[in-house]
Amino acid sequence: MSDVAPKSQRKSQIEEAQLVNVVLRYFKLAGVAVGVWLSGYLNFSPSWILFGLILYVWKERQGQRKKLQIEIRQDTARDEQKAILARVEDLPSWVHFPEVERAEWFNKILDQIWPFIGGYVKELLTNSIQPKIQASHAQMASFVFTKIDLGDIPPRIGGVKVYTKNVRRDEIYMDLDIIYSSDCDLMVKLKGMNMGIKDLQIRGTMRVILKPLISRMPLFGGLSVFFLNNPSIDFNLKGIADAFDLPGLREMVEDIIAEQIANIMVLPNRIAVPMIEGLNLSLLKYPPPEGVLRIYMIEARNLVSADVALLGKGKSDPYAVLKFGPEKFKTKVINNSVNPEWNEVFETIIDCKDAQVIDLEIRDEDPGSKDDKIGTAAIDISSSASNGTLDTWLPLENVKKGDVHIKLVWMYLANDPIVLEKTMKQVDTSTELATCVLMVNLDSAKDLPRMRKQIAEPSPYVVLSLGPKMFETEEKPNTDSPVWEKPFRFLVHNPQIQKLDLQIQKLDLQILDKKNPKESLGDLTIPLKSLLSAPDMTLDQNFSLKNSGLDSKINMRLCLRILTTENNPAWRSEGTILNTNSSSVDPPAAQKEGTTSPDSAQKSKVEPAKTTASGVDPVIKKVEVTQINAAKPEGQVIPPASSGGPNTVTSTEVRQRKTKSSPVPAESDAKGAFGRGRIQLTFRYSAQRQKLVVVVHKCQNLLPCDSDNLADPYVKMYLLPDKSSSGKRKTQVVKNNLDPVFDETFEFSLKQEEIADRDLELTIRNDTKFFSSNIKVMGVVTIDLSKMDISKAATEWFDLHPEDSDDAEKPVSVESDVEFLE
């Protein structure tokens, strides 16, 4: 009898579900029929029906595509090995990058505790988040979670990378590849309307920092977690929110959700958790930035024509959008042009230069409709930070043609007031470039007054302003001692300090009551000049408020830093994070100088000469020559060859040597070992985008090919063994020149593990007519990528050889293979 009852109950439930589906289908069809009848009755154009059909088909196809993607990601989360064998596109990071390790042991633990995490999150949303949302606004009083189901698929760690180089002994850096392909189902109810999301998909690189390490449990003082860049987000909408699943509206919803995530845990925002007492949480949660990046959006060329013209070639109305974490910049629109010139400059504060990327989009403005995307590009921050200045042309991706000219200038942060005067002289006042950075860590206030005729405590919030820039904190309801713990940063475009004829800039702060915003609870004005004489240009204290209570104070930390192209390691001190003597590491004063971010410093390594009883060993040693953070002239792309000529690398006299791997004449001059000239190249591999970046800078002393003893050279390259037309890259032709300057950037899609098996072949050709008898091939060089250190930007000269030379795979590198002469 006990078995019969459940079976009959399940049968009745199935019949009820089928009946509901039949009724819903009937009303849908009836609704369509009524809509068709109304369109005829109201004399609507048949084009409305056609438009509705197009919209319906588009939505169905988008839904099917998204459903397929969700199923694939969920299959990967359930059985990674099976999904990998079935599909190669969504491989985790440990497959692509050898330095990334698997974390299956952690995924198994997470899978087992996921149901308990789901219960905790449900309780957290119901008991903590829901009341806060209801109290945030009068219109949200009816907000309630009606369904909270995180699903059966937990997040996965696709790979873990632990940094071991260029980090201090008292810290651990980890990058986690977060993959969350969930089957969650969240529903909320607001003013009688049901809405929600399902099948939430999140993927991004999360950095975890453990610092400082200590000699007692839990062995580290604090934990800091954040996303390096905006994670990719996808989801499906339910209920009334499904009406927003239309072109334009959906992008708006996605932008709102991405913005909220960025405000919580995308740099510069982070989640910091203290693990012990005595920890300086402000330095853990709000560490000083690494520098400021100036982005010059100069121009673009050969863009595709997005607007079709009836007569002649079409044009575009292009503008550029740069996205960097929560930051977003947009240039002006250049009408009717495929070669726009913007000549605009943007500035952004960089918290972690070693792994962040600037996403660039070129769009065509279409008033009244969605703007077309006519090309994208991505720029690694690390390249400009290591070289000081990067000025290059980037080929646009996901489009047939087009290049964009961009220039990046890296600015260090100095805590020396003497640097200010020099910086102000270098900055053109007409460009309004920043000369300083003001960092404000707003902690809390206490003993705020109550307004007249008001019994309840205030709901204070703070408005901070410096020049045209203004920030506003969130409201802290019903308290006279609010705690905000929020950082704010101002780029000071011209501090105008020490300029008697100009007004001194100052930070203005005002505390207002949300219940009565017209009246102030207190205000404060701090001139920037007062920070110049403060120790380390920093003020960390309680400030007495004006026009407030007698005991009303606000606690803040103000730090001023001056922008400069000079690099001084003494300017990068972090302060004391742990206020205790139990740390197992050296005190800050005894620690090594340098940045705390991993893989962010380049060092020159000179192998010491072996000594014998008679003195220096005659064995020839290799020298790796790298300039370390040197200040670069404006507009310079990569440090050029040594100023002493092709045979000079440093002040020590060196010369190129003849080895078994390079059977060429020992002496090489500016004409190269074969008398055909040289070519200067820069190599770098972007692990983030899996791209090999090759910059063709210039050539010297090329072979005359035409009757006027000149040539029209250009460079053609292939990434062997691929010699197809799709794998070809070619520079512009430089007319009548034997020392052409190209400065063009090319990219090859290449996995990191494939680099050791590939060669780069470059051919310098002379642009000739079909029946011309002039020389066509001026020189060739083939570079074995397995012998190149492309983990960082490396610039070298290579000697050109004849096309039929046997040494094609053994080029002479004037700067990478040198020896000391005693």
Task: Write out pLDDT tens, residues 305-326.
Answer: 877 654 555 678 899 999 887 7
Beta strands 193-213; 185-190: pairing state: antiparallel
Kindly state the percentage of the chain with pLDDT values over 70. 73
Tokens coding 438: 């003001």
Band of residue 241 on the pLDDT scale cut at 50, 70, 90: low
Residue 481's region, left for phi above 0, alpha for psi from -120 to 50, else beta, is: beta
- Tell me the backbone φ, ψ of residue 790, rounded to 5 degrees: -105, 15
Unique residue bearing structure tokens 């002040």 = 651
C-alpha 639/C-alpha 617 separation (Å) is 32
**pLDDT greater than 70 at residue 6:** no
SS3 735: coil
Does 653 have pLDDT greater than 50?
A: no
pLDDT of residue 678: 92
**Rama region for 525: left / alpha / beta (φ>0; ψ in -120 to 50; rest):** beta
> Is residue 611 scored above 50 in pLDDT?
no
Q: Tell the CATH superfamily of the 291-414 domain.
A: C2 domain (2.60.40.150)
Q: Are 508 and 464 in contact (CB under 8 A)?
A: yes
Looking at residue 640, its pLDDT comes to 35
Residue that wins the pLDDT comparison between 239 and 738 = 738
CA–chain centroid gap for 158, Å, is: 20
pLDDT at 90: 53
Whether residue 61 is predicted with pLDDT greater than 80 in this model: the reply is no
Q: CB count, 10 Å around CB of 222?
A: 23
Q: What is the model's pLDDT at position 667?
A: 40
Q: Is the model more confident about 17 or about 557? A: 557
Judged by DSSP in three states, 681 sits in strand
Quote the tokens at residue 626: 């790298």
Following DSSP, what letter does each residue of 429-445 receive, concatenated?
Answer: GGGT---EEEEEEEEEE
**How far apart, in whole angstroms, are the C-alpha atoms of residue 58 and residue 391?**
42
Q: Is the pLDDT of residue 812 over 70?
A: no
Mark out the alpha helices in 334-416 (DSSP H runs): 381-387
Pick the CATH number of 419-572 from 3.40.50.300, 1.25.40.10, 3.40.140.10, 2.60.40.150: 2.60.40.150
Check pLDDT > 90 for residue 97. Answer: no
Both tokens assigned to 511: 């505390």
**Residues 6 or more apart in contact with residue 613 via CB below 8 angstroms:** none
Q: Which of 239-248, 692-701, 743-752 has the highest mean pLDDT?
A: 692-701
**Residues 602, 594 contacting (CB under 8 angstroms):** no
In the structure, how many helices (H) and strands (E) does the chain have?
A: 11, 38
The CATH number of the structural domain formed by 606-820 is 2.60.40.150
The answer to whether the beta carbons of residues 746 and 772 sit under 8 Å apart is no
Average pLDDT, the chain: 75
Report, as an integer, the average pLDDT of 158-184: 86
Distance of CA 801 to CAs 669, 674, 805, Å?
14, 6, 7
Contact indicator for 675, 81 with CB cutoff of 8 Å: no
Strand stretches in 776-822, DSSP E: 777-784, 794-799, 818-820
- 463 pLDDT above the threshold of 90: yes
**pLDDT value, residue 596:** 41
- Average confidence (pLDDT) over 29-34: 78
Q: Under a CB-based contact definition with an 8 Å cutoff, are residues 278 and 579 in contact?
A: yes
Low-confidence winner among 134-148, 245-259, 295-309, 740-754 (lowest mean pLDDT): 245-259
Spatial CB neighbours of 614, under 8 Å, sequence gap ≥ 6:
none
Can you tell me whether residue 87 is helix, strand or coil?
A: coil
Q: Is the pLDDT of residue 500 over 50?
A: no
Our CA dihedral for 593, 598, 602, 605, rounded to 10 degrees, sits at 80
Q: Residue 458 pLDDT > 60, yes or no?
A: yes
Look at residue 624 in the predicted model and tell me its pLDDT.
33
At residue 233, the 3 state secondary structure works out as strand
What is the token pair recorded at 18?
A: 């089928």
Structure tokens, 609? 């000469």
Q: Of 149 and 8, which is predicted with more confidence? A: 149
Within 10 Å of residue 639's Cβ, how many Cβ atoms? 16
pLDDT value at residue 118:
83
* Contact yes or no for 631/567 (Cβ under 8 A): yes
- CA 635 from chain centre, in angstroms, equals 23
* Inter-axis angle of helices 4-41 and 46-78, nearest 10: 150
Please answer whether residues 203 and 214 qualify as being in contact, where contact means their C-beta atoms are separated by less than 8 angstroms.
no
For residue 659, the cross-strand partners are 662
CA distance 704 to 721: 30
Nearest one of 388, 386, 291 to 347, comparing CA atoms: 291
CA distances from 760 to 69, 175, 642, 681, 729 (A): 36, 31, 25, 11, 11
Lowest-confidence segment of 130-134, 357-361, 518-522, 547-551 by average pLDDT: 130-134
Q: Hey, which of 62-66, 144-148, 521-525 has the most confident mean pLDDT?
A: 521-525
Query: Residue 101: exposed, middle, or buried by beta-carbon count in 10 A (0-12, 13-18, 19+)?
Result: middle
Confidence of residue 247 (pLDDT cuts 50, 70, 90): low
**220 neighbors 275 (Cβ within 8 angstroms):** yes
Regarding predicted confidence, which is higher, 654 or 471?
471
Query: pLDDT class for 814, splitting at 50, 70, 90?
Result: very low
**In terms of pLDDT, which residue wins out, 432 or 641?**
432
144 three-state secondary structure: strand
In this prediction, residue 822 carries a pLDDT of: 28
* pLDDT tens profile 177-225: 898 888 888 888 887 788 888 888 888 889 999 988 888 888 888 898 9
Q: Higher confidence at residue 654 or residue 463?
A: 463
Residues in the chain: 822
- 248, pLDDT greater than 70: no
The tokens for 63 are 């839904």
Rounded distance, CA 273 to CA 367, Å? 47
Q: CA 369, CA 375: separation in Å to the nearest integer? A: 18
The pTM assigned to this predicted structure is: 0.59
DSSP letter at 328?
A: E
- The residue type of 464 is L
Nearest to 761 by CA among 727, 815, 716: 716
Q: How confident is the model at residue 572 (pLDDT cuts 50, 70, 90)?
A: low
